[in-house]
Amino acid sequence: MTDTQCPTHPRQPAVACQECFDELLEARDAAGLRMWGAARLAADCDDRFPRRFAAAAVDHPDVKDWVETWRADPEAAPSLLLAGAVGVGKTWQAYAALREAATTVRQHPRFINRVPGPSWEAVTSADLYASLRPRTGVDTEAVMETYRRVDMLLVDDLGAAKNSEFVEETTYRILSGRYDDMRPSIFTTNLPPAELKHALGDRIASRLAESCRLVVLDGPDRRRAK
């Protein structure tokens, strides 16, 4: 053992041992302090992920690379835009990346003393717009605030909704709010990047181009291959 290794978990560095940190969090958790450690965060994903994607694990090298960037500094990381044809595994990679992001508790100022840990939401774009349509009895601004403020937001099938002023405005508010607060997101889209401009408008396409790491997935339609 060297003095750069953690004495309890030799695979980890001494100064920033993720395992020691997790144990500390679990102990606080057990003490009722409700700061979630890795086990609770993983259980939260198990509870809230769609069943089809419950076992999703990152197996694309560029997505792995994005996860590492997020881990290194969640505030400096770009958003992730997963593009590709129907059935290539975009939603799978997106949930896999979300799980990695949502369960990695780092000693980052943004998450220290956070109750209950890095927060996340995952939603299809259709459900996102539906939840934000003005209607009586619902404070849609509060819903918007949630989408803007969660530490990680997954929006599946961006660009699938028929374009309208409402869709454009809503998407822009979420994207620009998150961008300004340095909160990365994960998006998937069936559209080739060049067509996003038509579907979502110039302002949004250029925001996405500026703030996202684009990963294009290819291969066969996995649904037909089954």
Ligand X SMILES: Nc1ncnc2c1ncn2[C@@H]1O[C@H](COP(=O)(O)OP(=O)(O)O)[C@@H](O)[C@H]1O
Q: Which residues bind Mg ion (CB under 5 A)?
A: 91
Q: Does 91 bind ligand X (CB under 6 A)?
A: yes
What is the arrangement of strands in the sheet containing 79-83, beginning at the earlier edge strand?
120-124, 152-156, 185-189, 79-83, 212-216
Query: In terms of CB distance, is 88 or 212 closer to ligand X?
Result: 88
Q: Which segments of 86-211 does DSSP mark as H helices, in order? A: 90-103, 125-132, 140-149, 165-180, 193-200, 202-211
Selected binder of ligand X within 49, 66, 92, 179 (CB under 6 A): 92
Q: Does 86 bind ligand X (CB under 6 A)?
A: yes
Query: In terms of CB distance, is 48 or 223 closer to ligand X?
Result: 223
207 binds, among ligand X, Mg ion, none (CB under 5 to 8 A by kind): none
Query: In terms of CB distance, is 25 or 199 closer to ligand X?
Result: 199
Task: Using CB atoms within 10 Å of the CB of residue 169, give its burial: 0 to 12 exposed, 13 to 18 middle, 19+ buried.
Answer: middle
Q: Does 87 bind ligand X (CB under 6 A)?
A: yes
Among the listed ranges 72-80, 87-95, 163-171, 206-214, the one in contact with ligand X (CB under 6 A) is 87-95
Q: Does 222 bind ligand X (CB under 6 A)?
A: yes
Residues in a beta bridge with 155: 123, 187
Closest CA to 105 of 77, 74, 146, 148: 74
**Number of neighbouring beta carbons within 10 Å of residue 3:** 6
Shortest Cβ 49–Mg ion spacing (Å): 14
Selected binder of ligand X within 88, 204, 208, 212 (CB under 6 A): 88
Q: What is the dihedral of CA 202, 207, 212, 218, to 10 degrees?
A: -10
Among the listed ranges 79-87, 113-121, 164-172, 197-205, the one in contact with ligand X (CB under 6 A) is 79-87
Contacting residues toward ligand X, per CB under 6 A = 52, 59, 84, 86-92, 188, 222-223
